[in-house]
C-alpha cells in the first residue's frame, strides 16, 4: 500500500537469518550490507534520530531465532520489526513442518504486540533442481506466514511471487543469497509495503533478457558451484553445523543510525 504521508516510524529492528543479515551484498571492507540496512538508511533520511538494530545471523533456524532474537527484539520497543525465518529449516534433510509452524507462530505472537508494525515476508525463491524438492515445504511455510499476518495485523511482503527475484542474475554464485541488486529490490518492496512513496514502482519487473551462456560455460559454472558451495552446504546440513555458529548479530543494539555501516 502507499500513502501520501509516510508513517512516522522512528525505529526498526530486523530479526532473522542470512537473508536479513545481508548475504551476499558484500561491501569493500568484507562486511555485508543487505536490504535491511538499505531500508534503515531510507527510513533514517525521513526521521531524525532514527534508530536501527539488526539481530540476524546467518544459518539460524527458526528455533534459534525464537530463542536468541525474539525476546531481545520485543524488549526494544521499536516501531517496526521485520521477521523472516524458517526457510533454513525447510532446506534441512529432516524437517518437522508442524514444529516450524508452531515456532513461527510463537515468534509472531510475541513480536506483534511489541511494535507498531510487524513485517513478515514470503521469501524469494529462484528456479533450480536443488530447490525444487524443498518447494512444497517452502510454500507451506508461506501459507503459515499469510495466516499469521491476517490474525495479528502484520503486513506481508510477497517476494516469492516477484518475477524479478526468480531471475538467476539476482542471485550470488552460491545460488542461495541475493546480489546487491536483489537486496535493493527487496528494500524497495518493504519500503512500499510500509506505506512510503515508491522510488522504483517496477522493482518486481524482471531485468531485460540477455543471451544465455553456452552449454560449456553452464557446465563449468555448475561444477564450480557444486565444489565451492553445494557440497559444503550439504556437509553442514548432515552434521548439524551452521555457517553462523559463534557469530554475533551485526547490530545488536537499537542505536541511532544515519545510513552508514
Domain positions in the chain are 11-256
pLDDT over 80 (residue 27): yes
Give me the mean pLDDT over the 137-147 stretch: 96
pLDDT on residue 99: 98
Residues 129-159 as b or e (16 or more Cβ within 10 Å = b): eeeeebeebbebbbebbeebbeeeebbbbbb
Of 5-14, 64-73, 85-94, 117-126, the range with the highest mean pLDDT is: 64-73
Better-scored residue on pLDDT, 20 or 232: 20
In 3D space, the residue among 124, 118, 117, 258 whose CA is nearest the CA of residue 183 turns out to be 124
Backbone angles phi, psi at 181, to 5 degrees: -65, -40
- pLDDT exceeds cutoff 50 at 32: yes
The DSSP element (H or E) to which 188 belongs, if any, is: helix 180-193
Give backbone dihedrals phi and psi of 219, rounded to 5 degrees, phi first.
-70, -40
pLDDT exceeds 60 at position 251: yes
DSSP 190: H
Where is average pLDDT lowest: 34-38, 56-60, 215-219? 215-219
Burial of 33 (0-12, 13-18, 19+ CB in 10 A): buried
Least confident of 170-174, 184-188, 227-231: 227-231
Q: Where are the beta strands (DSSP E) in the chain?
A: 11-16, 51-54, 80-84, 117-122, 155-158, 251-256
pLDDT at residue 223 greater than cutoff 80: no
Distance CA 128, CA 168 (A): 9
11-256 homologous superfamily: SGNH hydrolase (3.40.50.1110)
For residue 71, give Cα distances in angstroms to 86, 104, 114: 17, 13, 10
The yes-or-no verdict on residue 214 having pLDDT over 80 is no
Q: At 146, is the pLDDT very low, low, confident or very high (cuts 50, 70, 90)?
A: very high
- With the C-alpha atoms ordered 69, 75, 76, 82, is the resulting torsion angle positive or negative? positive
Q: Give the least confident one: 130-139, 179-188, 246-255.
A: 130-139
Residue 57 phi, psi dihedral angles, 5° rounding? -140, 130
Q: 11 and 50 in contact (C-beta within 8 Å)?
A: yes
Residue 226: band (very low, low, confident or very high) from pLDDT cuts 50, 70, 90: low
The rounded mean pLDDT for the chain is 87
User: Does residue 240 register a pLDDT over 70?
Assistant: no
Look at 225 and 101; give whichever has higher pLDDT. Answer: 101
Beta strands in 91-175 (DSSP E): 117-122, 155-158
Amino acid at each position: 500500500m502507499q500513502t501520501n504521508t509516510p508513517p512516522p516510524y522512528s525505529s526498526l529492528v530486523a530479526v532473522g537469518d542470512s537473508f536479513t543479515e545481508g548475504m551476499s551484498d558484500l561491501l569493500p571492507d568484507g562486511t555485508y550490507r543487505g536490504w535491511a540496512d538499505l531500508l534503515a538508511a531510507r527510513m533514517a533520511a525521513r526521521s531524525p534520530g532514527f534508530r536501527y538494530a539488526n539481530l540476524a545471523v546467518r544459518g539460524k533456524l527458526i528455533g534459534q531465532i525464537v530463542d536468541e532474537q525474539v525476546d531481545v527484539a520485543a524488549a526494544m520497543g521499536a516501531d517496526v520489526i521485520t521477521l523472516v525465518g524458517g526457510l533454513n529449516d525447510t532446506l534441512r534433510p529432516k524437517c518437522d513442518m508442524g514444529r516450524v509452524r508452531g515456532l513461527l507462530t510463537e515468534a509472531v505472537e510475541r513480536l506483534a504486540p511489541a511494535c507498531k508494525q510487524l513485517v513478515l515476508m514470503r521469501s524469494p525463491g529462484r528456479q533450480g533442481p536443488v530447490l525444487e524438492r524443498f518447494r512444497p515445504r517452502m510454500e507451506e511455510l508461506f501459507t503459515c506466514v499469510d495466516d499469521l499476518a491476517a490474525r495479528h495485523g502484520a503486513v506481508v511482503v510477497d517476494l516469492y511471487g516477484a518475477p524479478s527475484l526468480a531471475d538467476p542474475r539476482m542471485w550470488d554464485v552460491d545460488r542461495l543469497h541475493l546480489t546487491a541488486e536483489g537486496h535493493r529490490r527487496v528494500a524497495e518492496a518493504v519500503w512500499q509495503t510500509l506505506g512510503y512513496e515508491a522510488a522504483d514502482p517496477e522493482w518486481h519487473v524482471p531485468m531485460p533478457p540477455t543471451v544465455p551462456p553456452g552449454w560449456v560455460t553452464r557446465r563449468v559454472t555448475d561444477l564450480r558451484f557444486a565444489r565451492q558451495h553445494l557440497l559444503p552446504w550439504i556437509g553442514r546440513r548432515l552434521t548439524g553445523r551452521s555457517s553462523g555458529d559463534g557469530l554475533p548479530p551485526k547490530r545488536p543494539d537499537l542505536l541511532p543510525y544515519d545510513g552508514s555501516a
